[in-house]
Structure 1
Amino acid sequence: MVLYISIAISIIFVIWGIFYSDSLGKVSNILLDKIIDQFGWFYLITALVILLFAVFLAFSKFGRIRLGKDNERPEYSTFTWFSMLFSAGMGIGLVFWGVAEPIFHYAQPPIGISPESTESTIMAMRYSFFHWGFHPWAMYAIVGMSLAYVTFRQNRPCTISSTLYPLIGEKANGSFGKFVDIMAILVTIFGVATSLGMGALQVNGGLSYLFKIPNNTMSQIIIIVLITLLFILSATSGINKGIKLLSNTNVAIASVIMMVILFIGPTAFILDTFTLSLGGYLQNIIEMSLKTTPITKDPWLGAWTLTYWAWWIAWSPFVGTFIARISRGRTIREFVLGVLVVPSIFSFIWFSVLGGTALHFEIVEGFNIASEILKDVSTGLFVTLSFLPLGYIISIIIIVLIVTFFITSADSSTFVLAMFSSKGILNPKTNIKIVWGIVQSLIAIVLLLSGGLQAIKGISIIMALPFVFIMILMCISLYKAVNKEIKEHK
């Protein structure tokens, strides 16, 4: 039932987008405005509460509980574990926004800050850290921890509905549980389609900038089709071959790129930027977490922070489930600290290196990067790299990195979708993975036809709203389960 209903809803959406793309774009914009206006505060508070709850679990008496049997140990090495969870959790988005977001905040900062000023430069990096730091990884951690606990410690199916069993009992196996699993599938499809669409935009932008290939919707559709074939091929090889190999490759390439740019770029500026931004982020994290604009109604909040929070919520069923699948045998403390801290630090360094380099070129060197990014966000990274020694070669490697991140994210998500729609079995059938791979790609194409990046971002926010309530129930359910276990073992 879960499989058939989810596919039916997805097909209806695809048909709507293909034949009535303008209508889809208009409806999504109306819903988007309503949700941001009425529920923006709810997204902000929920995201902060989830972060605090994850930290509480790590440092409380529950931290020693193992996500598996007491004698089990981790299935994957620490490096491979980090590589796989990072590739699934950030991937394309980090490459897409590494230069573009800091420059956007520098040129178009939040209300009350002068554009292209010293303050906007500081806030540009601080908010980039904020949007890609602890909050998103906390959302992934809660979903992943809940699933790993009920799957590997309580021997329940690896489905989102199973995480609610400690709270609602057998209702998790009934119609409400099926509704939860269908919602998780739909949220995952649209969340991942967002990244697939962005990946296609940036691959096309890079190829256009480097090789003059037309930068249009048709080129982007062709890119999605070609990469779909590649990730379906990877999906058929299983988690221990395709995903594991690509994830390790992704992190290795990304790390080399960061080191090269750090040493051939404005090294001192990058390191100063990292230090200042990290301090500002840690000092102001609570204020930024709860910042709203009820009087001015500044659209910046909806365009950035709320969009990101909704995006991470939309990704949390997929990434959380994937992280759960590869985290068997780790303790809650090890899990939370690993998922929260290491990927966040990697993101901070990435933004400092790429965003810091772009800001240096814009502010100190006088290169006009901001105008290029405001004109076409997908080419911002390649414009920045063109001012570096070896920039052309690095740009080609970046395109390869985007493609491998693209494949890894799509491969991981098809694996998770197949699990969700196969009653939570840990090694779903290949044909179901292929079906979901095709469906995801079709939805990414539909979103591109319906308005490009704006439609892609809007659909994520809309689809994430119902899942926020499910995540709150998951937190309550997880606390009830681990608290009961601790009491029984006293």
Structure 2
Amino acid sequence: MPDKDPGPVHLTPANGSLPDDEGRLPASAAPPPAADDDVADMLYEPPAQTAERRPRTDWAVFGTAAAAALAFVVWGMSSAESLAAVSSAILGWLVHNGGWAFVLAASGFVVFALWIAFSRFGKIRLGRDDEEPEFRTFSWIAMMFATGMGIGLMFYGVNEPIAHYTSPPPGSDVSTEALRVETALGTTLFHWALHPWAIYAVVGLAIAYGTFRRGRRQLISSAFAPLFGAKNVRGTAGKAIDVMAIFATLFGSATSLGLGALQIVGGFEQLGWVPEVSIPVLVTVIAVLTLAFVASAVSGIARGIQWLSNINMVLMVVFLIFIFVVGPSIFLLNLVPTTIASYLNELVPMAGRTEAFGGQETAEWLATWTVFYWAWWISWTPFVGMFIARISRGRTIRQFVAGLLLVPSLVSLIWFVIFGGTGIRLEQGGANLGALADSPEAQLFTMLQAFPWDVAVSVLVIVLVAIFFVTGADSASIVMGTLSQRGSISPQRPFVITWGVLIGAVAAVMLLVGGDTALSGLQQITIIVAAPFTVVMVLLCVALYRDLRSDPVVLRGAKGSEVVEAAVISGATTYGTDFQLEVSPVADDADPGSGAGSLPDGPPPADGGADSPPPGPERP
């Protein structure tokens, strides 16, 4: 229950629509006054047949974020050495003084998400009380998996297990070959299972609840209304949060695109199309793929992009099955329970690994792996969170969290067992994949050379990553356009193109910062940019909790328990054990202590700015 009286509490209106934070009904229940654009903009969406109004740009948010991003690009292009020196110094300070915060926050998000799901809040629906899920469960799961880990899975599928197998994490027990394999796959699963998806769940849940339950605009800042107040989130504080969200999305997406460029050029090198992986070749690949994205954005072939995305998912499954069939299938099947057991057995020690555990060696390992991953996932949360929120309307919080944590974790388990297990088996047989530690982008292609049709499959991998690059830039640019244009579901094309070009430029600069080891540039910049957004996410948890505890479902449950308890006490006192409860209208002069009472019968208290949520996608 709230610490103070929340004021009048009401249930959902008869038509099933839940009023927004300021007591207004959705457009379907109470049409907005046509003469007042400001009021209309803050109401629920108009009926489906009404087109969305022209997006209005928040020039303070867009101008600040774009200017800062452009300054970063100019700095990197004009003096990559200077930017590298500064970022390296900041990274060293951050990992030494704040590495513990990344580690603690990531595990805290897991605990928070699970607690929310299995507490009294779990039965709250992301929409009206009687609203059904917008998408069938299978479609929801398929879209959820396709939210942006494609390039990461392709890049790290072989690289990370091999890296942990050949160079185990500090302090690991690898006294036997079996323990070395278990450690490699268990550590990899730790980075790709519950933790990243719990991080996504926090942001996705806050956006979905605020948008579909409270009627707010689809902005990260709108979720802070219960914490800072409606006026503040529409003012300077809210704009600062949205700028940080844009920056996190920009650099998180650039990291993925940088990995994609590394993988593509690594494939070119293995196929003999380029002599080596070099910065000029990487920048050229990024430029070409960015032009492809711009062409798709200008042409408006949204259906084509969606079609390519679906094809990519099918090709990934085919690729997975191919490696399983031609690889050491029985060995891989045996690794499934072994990896799960290793992950669960080492979960707490892995979640608590900090610099205090092993000094500078552990700090460097964390910056390369765990802290980098947590920063990468955090920087992706505005993008992935907004997408997951969009497709989760009508589901309960418990369904949302359970599906989001369990299904992608299972997919990650299968992916890394097949690709990582196959790589480890070849390494045990003398393939020497670990010798390519300085060229991680080449390890997948080197592994493919051990199987039939390696050239054709390598070309398939390059095509897969290229499509992920274009569609990822498209999706991330739309999200940043949405944040720039006050939560519009259809941001204007010039803004989408601007952000897409900046993603490509930032990815190129991040690779330049790494110099000969381009991957290190991606890692260190990602950690630096994600640090302030980690604080935003912690505050977001507080705001979400305050939102949920004043939800009508929670208040009705609390009031119902109070009324029933009082009635039972009154009945037992008066009639002993021989009594029954009946429901009847309450008298105006009823004694509050007699057990009579009324349940909440209207909207939650006004606590923040109500803004226009985007219309959800059509049911497939």
The TM-score range, normalised by the shorter chain, is: over 0.9
Equivalent residue number for residue 314 of structure 2: 252
CA distance in 2, matches of 1:69, 1:223: 47
1:172-211 alignment runs, 5 A limit: 172-211=233-272
CA offset at residue 32 of structure 1? 0.7
Alignment of 1:403 with 2:463, yes or no, is no
Q: 1:387 to 1:424 in 2, by over 3 A?
A: same
CA distance in 2, matches of 1:411, 1:83: 19
CA distance in 2, matches of 1:66, 1:237: 38
Equivalent residue number for residue 263 of structure 1: 325
Q: Return 460-469 or 270-279, whichever deviates more.
A: 270-279
Q: Secondary structure at the match of 1:68?
A: coil
Q: Is the 8 A contact 1:217 1:448 kept in 2?
A: yes
Equivalent residue number for residue 457 of structure 1: 523
CA distance in 2, matches of 1:288, 1:243: 39
Equivalent residue number for residue 537 of structure 2: 471
Q: Return 275-284 or 224-233, whichever deviates more.
A: 224-233
Q: 1:291 to 1:112 in 2, by over 3 A?
A: closer
CA distance in 2, matches of 1:265, 1:408: 30
Equivalent residue number for residue 482 of structure 1: 548
Q: Return 326-335 or 313-322, whichever deviates more.
A: 326-335
Displacement over 6 Å in runs of 4+: 237-240
Equivalent residue number for residue 60 of structure 1: 119
CA distance in 2, matches of 1:296, 1:257: 39
CA offset at residue 236 of structure 1? 5.5
Match of 2:448 among 385, 394, 403: 385
Q: What are the superposed Cα offsets for residues 429-460 of structure 1, whole Å, 9 maximum, x if unpaired?
A: 12211111011111111111222211111011
Q: 1:244 to 1:326 in 2, by over 3 A?
A: farther
Q: Is the 8 A contact 1:107 1:115 kept in 2?
A: no
Alignment of 1:103 with 2:162, yes or no, is yes
Q: What are the superposed Cα offsets for residues 310-359 of structure 1, whole Å, 9 maximum, x if unpaired?
A: 11111111211122123222221222122111111111111110110000
Q: Secondary structure at the match of 1:381?
A: helix
Q: Return 107-116 or 57-66, whichever deviates more.
A: 107-116
CA offset at residue 117 of structure 1? 4.4
Q: 1:239 to 1:461 in 2, by over 3 A?
A: farther
Q: Secondary structure at the match of 1:489?
A: helix
CA offset at residue 250 of structure 1? 2.5
Equivalent residue number for residue 35 of structure 1: 94
Q: Is the 8 A contact 1:159 1:424 kept in 2?
A: yes
Match of 1:367 among 401, 406, 431: 431
Q: Secondary structure at the match of 1:375?
A: coil
CA offset at residue 55 of structure 1? 1.3
Match of 1:131 among 183, 188, 191: 191
Amino acid at match of 2:237: F
Q: Return 98-107 or 220-229, whichever deviates more.
A: 220-229
1:298-377 alignment runs, 5 A limit: 298=362, 299-363=364-428, 365-371=429-435, 373-377=436-440
Q: What are the superposed Cα offsets for residues 36-80 of structure 1, whole Å, 9 maximum, x if unpaired?
A: 111111111111111111112222222222222334434444444
CA offset at residue 163 of structure 1? 0.9
CA distance in 2, matches of 1:234, 1:343: 29
Amino acid at match of 1:390: W
CA distance in 1, matches of 2:461, 2:240: 40
CA distance in 2, matches of 1:237, 1:342: 35
CA distance in 1, matches of 2:120, 2:264: 47
CA offset at residue 393 of structure 1? 2.2
Match of 1:146 among 187, 206, 213: 206
Q: 1:78 to 1:245 in 2, by over 3 A?
A: farther
CA offset at residue 242 of structure 1? 4.7
CA distance in 1, matches of 2:215, 2:341: 43
Q: What are the superposed Cα offsets for residues 23-46 of structure 1, whole Å, 9 maximum, x if unpaired?
A: 111111111111111111111111
Q: Return 261-270 or 397-406, whichever deviates more.
A: 397-406
CA offset at residue 302 of structure 1? 2.5
Q: Secondary structure at the match of 2:92?
A: helix
Q: 1:141 to 1:236 in 2, by over 3 A?
A: farther
Q: Is the 8 A contact 2:121 2:554 kept in 1?
A: no
Q: 1:247 to 1:71 in 2, by over 3 A?
A: farther
Select the structure that is richer in helix: 1
CA distance in 2, matches of 1:484, 1:84: 31
CA offset at residue 82 of structure 1? 3.2
Q: 1:99 to 1:295 in 2, by over 3 A?
A: closer
Amino acid at match of 1:202: Q
Amino acid at match of 2:259: M
Q: Secondary structure at the match of 2:103?
A: helix
Mind listing any 5+ residue stretches in structure 1 that lack a counterpart?
none
* TM-score calculated relative to the size of structure 2: 0.76
CA distance in 1, matches of 2:147, 2:294: 16
CA offset at residue 375 of structure 1? 3.4
CA offset at residue 243 of structure 1? 5.1
CA distance in 2, matches of 1:71, 1:430: 36
Q: Return 86-95 or 179-188, whichever deviates more.
A: 86-95
Q: Secondary structure at the match of 2:550?
A: helix
CA offset at residue 402 of structure 1? 1.1
CA offset at residue 295 of structure 1? 5.3
* TM-score calculated relative to the size of structure 1: 0.95
Q: Return 339-348 or 239-248, whichever deviates more.
A: 239-248
> Which of these two proteins has the greater Rg computed from alpha carbons?
2
Q: Secondary structure at the match of 1:475?
A: helix
**Percent same amino acid among aligned pairs?**
42
